[in-house]
Amino acid sequence: MNKDIAEILVDEKEIGEICSRIAEEISRDYKNSDKKLLLLCILKGSVVFMGELMKRIDLPVEIDFMKVSSYGAGTATTGSINIHLDLQRKDMNDIDIIVVEDIIDSGRTLSHLTEYLKLKGAHSVRTCTLLDKPSRREVEFRPDYTGKIIPDKFVVGFGLDYDEMYRALPYVGVLRPEVYEGK
């Protein structure tokens, strides 16, 4: 195990089971849709989860990417997000979007992003997250597909980073506080 990791919260086996379960739910829910199914990966943290999830979905899927960041709490009461890389499509009203996220914390990113995608004209928008920390919510938000609910701890691995590090770990682990304290 990496020396900076205090504890493994979700191991490789459990992550595989989570991806298979969510892929089954998605395959069942969209089986009869006559729209195109688009998995929308939120860069960078969701790349690894998205790769595992898409392989297991038993339907034709398209993939796309957006890069967004939420304004810090208190800076914007109107609720906006910074869009660093946008979705460029002309067929918005012909697609069912599933936003694929690594983790939900305050809820700001996904609540603003789903509104934005609906305004852009998507036929439907749902959200899927590997991890959720509901105790951290600042705005009300419930994802449609959830991998695992976790306590309020800072985690890294399987795509999630601290200062761009640890994304390639094959599991989700709690980062030792010594790593970020005193920085």
Q: Which residues bind Mg ion (CB under 5 A)?
A: 45
Select which of 58, 86, 94, 105 is catalytic. Answer: 105
Catalytic residue list contains 105: yes
52 touches ligand IMP by CB under 6 A: no
Give the type of residue at 101: E
The bridge status of strand 145-149 relative to strand 155-156 is unpaired
Please, are residues 37 and 53 in contact by the beta-carbon 8 Å criterion?
Answer: no
107 touches ligand IMP by CB under 6 A: yes
CB closer to ligand IMP, 104 vs 117: 104
Integer-rounded Cα radius of gyration of the chain? 16
Alpha helices in the chain (DSSP H): 12-30, 47-56, 108-119, 177-180
Please, are residues 22 and 147 in contact by the beta-carbon 8 Å criterion?
Answer: yes
154 backbone dihedrals φ, ψ, rounded to 5°: -80, 120
160 touches ligand IMP by CB under 6 A: yes
Residue selected from 18, 19, 37, 45 as contacting ligand IMP according to rule CB under 6 A:
45
Distance CA(94)–CA(16), nearest Å, equals: 31
CB closer to ligand IMP, 26 vs 104: 104
CB closer to ligand IMP, 30 vs 109: 109
CB of 76 to Mg ion, least distance (A): 18
Q: Annotated active-site positions, please?
A: 105
Positions in the binding site for ligand IMP (CB under 6 A): 45, 70, 101-109, 154-156, 160
